[in-house]
Amino acid sequence: MNYPNSSALLDCRWLADNLDHSDVVVLDAGFFLPTERRDAAAEYRQCHIAGAQFFDIDAVADHGTPLPHMLPSPDTFAAAAGKLGIGNDTLVVTYDNNRFMAAARAWWMFRVFGHDQVAVLDGGLQRWRALGLPADAAEVARAPRRFEAGFRPGLVRDLAQMRRWVQAPDRQLLDARSPGRFEGSAPEPRPGVRSGHIPGSRHLFYADLVDPDNHQLLPNDALAARFAAAGIDTAQPVTTTCGTGVTAAILALALYQLGRQDVAVYDGSWSEWGGLADTPVALGPA
């Protein structure tokens, strides 16, 4: 499949021209926070990019933990991908209708499980529809394919690794949540989770990386300026975190655009860290 893979982002018009290609699978990875009171699956059924299938991050997940949408096993992910008609040579294009949430999470998941033929639709469904490109509500089913999943542990951080991280302040951790949640002045949306952030974290609200007018990721020079203002050295490794490992992937996507393909996401994120009684918590700005 000949596609412009120098970037993790894919242009809407390129996808429109290649939408019917047999080696392209489009996934609607719509997701909303509980406070948004929107149903991503219902919105998909009402309207989606022609030929797109729904990718539910809560379904393709580890159901043996109370934490939301944690990464599944490689075998579980491979079975889910294969059911969607995805093979190891398929170009997977993810999108959403909510500022890269959770199109970036789906993109990161495919990369974690060894699949580099994956890109995020820049601007998502909002830009697609603004350009008048084909969308409908038709049910979509593709013939299953065999998908073999690998695993890249370097792209994931777990609780044990994060506990060690707080003892090594030279490592860079960047939190994607809203300023109020990061500082601890706004309550967490999930009951039983403390307010604040992991000590030593820097802060960059994920929404500040998205152009509010065209819903696309900011140009690279603007992205670089945002990370620099947050105190992040993009020449050095970065781990990202958020509430549940979703918007952290938007930071990873933006850093990928700046040349950092090794960004790790703390999968449990604040739902795990803030939900424990023995993890240190910091309050206030970074």
Q: DSSP 3-state assignment of 106?
A: helix
* Residue 12 annotated in active site: no
Name the burial class of residue 213, with classes exposed (0-12), middle (13-18) and buried (19+) by CB atoms within 10 angstroms of its CB: exposed
Beta strand ranges found along the chain (DSSP E) = 9-10, 24-28, 48-49, 53-54, 91-95, 118-121, 135-136, 156-157, 172-175, 202-203, 238-241, 264-266
Identified catalytic residue from 15, 71, 103, 242: 242
Give the DSSP H or E segment for 220.
Answer: helix 220-229
Region for 215 from its dihedrals, namely left if φ exceeds 0, alpha if ψ lies in -120 to 50, beta otherwise: left
| Residues annotated as part of the active site | 242
